Structure formats: C-alpha cells, structure tokens
Amino acid sequence: METKITKKTDGKILIITGFVAIVILFLIYSRFEYLNVTLDAVPVLQRIAFAFYIILGLSFCAISYGLYRFHKQQTTKNENTILAIIGVITYNKRSRQIFVAAFIAYGLFFALASGIIVYQPEVIFSEHYGAVVPSAHITSCCGPPGYMPKIVAFFTEHIGLQIIPINLVLLLVVSYLVGLNFAIAAKAFSITKQGGGLGAIGASTGLFIACPTCAGTVLSLLVGGSAIALTIAIAQLQTVFIAISIPVLLVTPIIMTRRIRKIKSESCS
C-alpha cells in the first residue's frame, strides 16, 4: 500500500519541492538587495550567484520530471476527473508534438519580447556598452528581489543574452501553460470537427489567451519609437501582463476539459 501511494504522489512532491525551493532561493538572495559591497566580498557573492543558478536549475529539473511523472500517472487512472482527462489528452503523441512546438515557439517569442534574447541591429555592443565580444559575466549584486543575480552575455556585436531570474521562471512557467492550452485546444477542435458540439468559439479560447506577452508587444508596436518614455513604461508592465495571464492560463484548460468530458458523456449515453 505504501509503495502505491508513493508512486501516485511522487510527481506532486517533486513539483511542490521545486517551486518551494525557488521561492526560498529568491527570499534568501533578496537579503543582498541593500548590501554594501566591498572588493573582498565580490568573489564570495560571485560564488553565491553561481550556486543560486545551480540550485535554480536543479529546481527546474525537479519540476519538469515531476510534471512528466504526474501526467503519466494520470493516464494510468481509470477515472473521469479533470486531471485524469488532461493527462490522457496531453500524453498521446500528437498532443505532445503540439505541446513541444507551442512551448518552444512561445518561449522564443517570450525571450525576445522580455529582453532575455537581446537583438539590437542598430547598436554596436563593443562601442555602445564597452563590452568585450564574445563574453559573458554574472552580476551578483544588487537589485530588487527576483532581478538578481543577472547573467549577461554578448555573442556578436548585435546579439546578446540577459537572464533575469524572475523572467526565466516566468518564461518556463508561462510557456508550459501555453503549450498545455494549445494541446487541449487542439483536442477541442478535433471534437468540434467530429460534431461534438463544443463550438468553434469555445474551442479556440485556449488559443486566444495563449499569448499573454502579445499585449505589451502590440502596444509597443502601436506606440512606435517616437514615444520612448511610454514604450519603456509598457515594457516594464510586461511582467504585470504576464502575471495577470497566469490564472487565466490555469483556468482555461479546466474549462475546456470539463466541456470535453460533458460532450463525451453525452455521446456515450
């Protein structure tokens, strides 16, 4: 009995452990926000910053493997629950392909829109920033919680990388939810084609809300380069747009799955 319980719950345990570790990591590192840095403290902070990203990477691995185990465990259950249906929907080969494609595509879009991937064709990094190209360094101190330590890399004179912890967490979390929404929405569309009665509008809900970064990006394009102050303000609100979208990205799969379950129950009866 104990073995069965462990197999059923280890996926959840890994997911919870990973997120708890990330929160604790952010809280611990936030203590360095107002630190008075001396030359002697710099090497110590560098080592702490490296340890921060190692633990963060291990937390992501635990969450990823936990999600994989959790999805797989749901497929073995002969139940009609929301989670079991989501597990069955997302575990087949076609759904996995849709999930991976949406995850990667949105992840790249998010990285470009949020400034993780920096592409500035009009700027020469070595001249404008005094950077050595190619190079990479970690900024260990100091800044608001979630924004330090920061990794900055210059690959070419116009392409670089800026990894901020909170943006990295949002990238992975939101990209996962977007991939999940696309996979379930694709199943909803297939039911619509089969005459299941889901409705095109209801089936496409997951696709319309699956781009939380688009709000800030579209507004930036509409404003244009002339209103620099407003464009910067919109860029700063990008995180707010994404944070607001996360509850929607969580609720929408549940709504679509309930509808799918209802349609299948009606067709069976």
Number of structural domains in the chain: 1
Q: Residue 259: give the domain boundaries.
A: 93-115+166-269
Q: Is 209's pLDDT higher than 70?
A: no
* Average pLDDT score over residue span 176-189: 82
Residue 31 lies in a domain: no
Residue-level pLDDT at 190: 72
- Residue 159 resides in a domain: no
Residue 125 has pLDDT above 80, yes or no: yes
- pLDDT for position 62: 93
Are 2 and 58 contacting, i.e. CB atoms less than 8 angstroms apart?
A: no
Alpha carbon 79 to chain centroid distance? Answer: 29
Q: Assess if residue 260 is contained within a domain.
A: yes
pLDDT at residue 121, rounded to an integer: 84
Choose between 263 and 186: higher pLDDT.
186
196 pLDDT more than 60? no
Residue 60 CA to residue 57 CA, distance in Å, equals 5
Rounded mean pLDDT of the chain? Answer: 74
Q: Does some domain include residue 242?
A: yes
Q: Please give the DSSP secondary-structure letter assigned to residue 41.
A: H
The model's pLDDT over 132-158, given as tens digits with 9 standing for 90+, comes to: 888 888 887 777 777 888 888 888 888
From CA 44, how far away is CA 39, in angstroms rounded?
A: 10
Q: Which residue has the higher pLDDT, 216 or 149?
A: 149
Q: Which residue has the higher pLDDT, 269 or 220?
A: 269
Lowest mean pLDDT among 28-37, 101-110, 126-135: 28-37
Q: Which residue has the higher pLDDT, 175 or 267?
A: 175
For residue 154, being part of any structural domain is answered with: no
Q: For residues 256 and 188, is the Cβ–Cβ distance under 8 A?
A: yes
Q: Which of 76-90, 194-208, 254-268 has the lowest mean pLDDT?
A: 194-208
Handedness of CA 211, 212, 217, 219 (dihedral sign): positive
Question: Within a domain: residue 105?
Answer: yes
Residues 6+ away with beta carbon under 8 Å from 116: 110, 161, 162, 163, 164, 167, 168, 171
Stretch 91-113: mean pLDDT, rounded? 86
49 assigned to some structural domain: no
Q: With beta carbons less than 8 A apart as the criterion, state whether 70 and 12 touch.
A: yes
In this predicted model, which residue has the larger pLDDT, 227 or 97? 97
Percent of residues, the chain, with pLDDT higher than 90: 10
Q: Which secondary structure element, helix H or strand E, spans residue 146, and what is its range?
A: none
Backbone angles phi, psi at 163, to 5 degrees: -100, 115
pLDDT of 54 strictly over 90: yes
Least confident residue range of 74-83, 90-99, 127-136, 200-209: 200-209
Specify whether the CB–CB gap between 172 and 80 falls below 8 A. Answer: no
Residue 218 counted as domain residue: yes
Task: Give the CA distances from residue 232 to residues 14, 114, 144, 219, in Å, rounded to whole numbers and listed in that order.
Answer: 38, 12, 18, 11
pLDDT at 21 over 50: yes
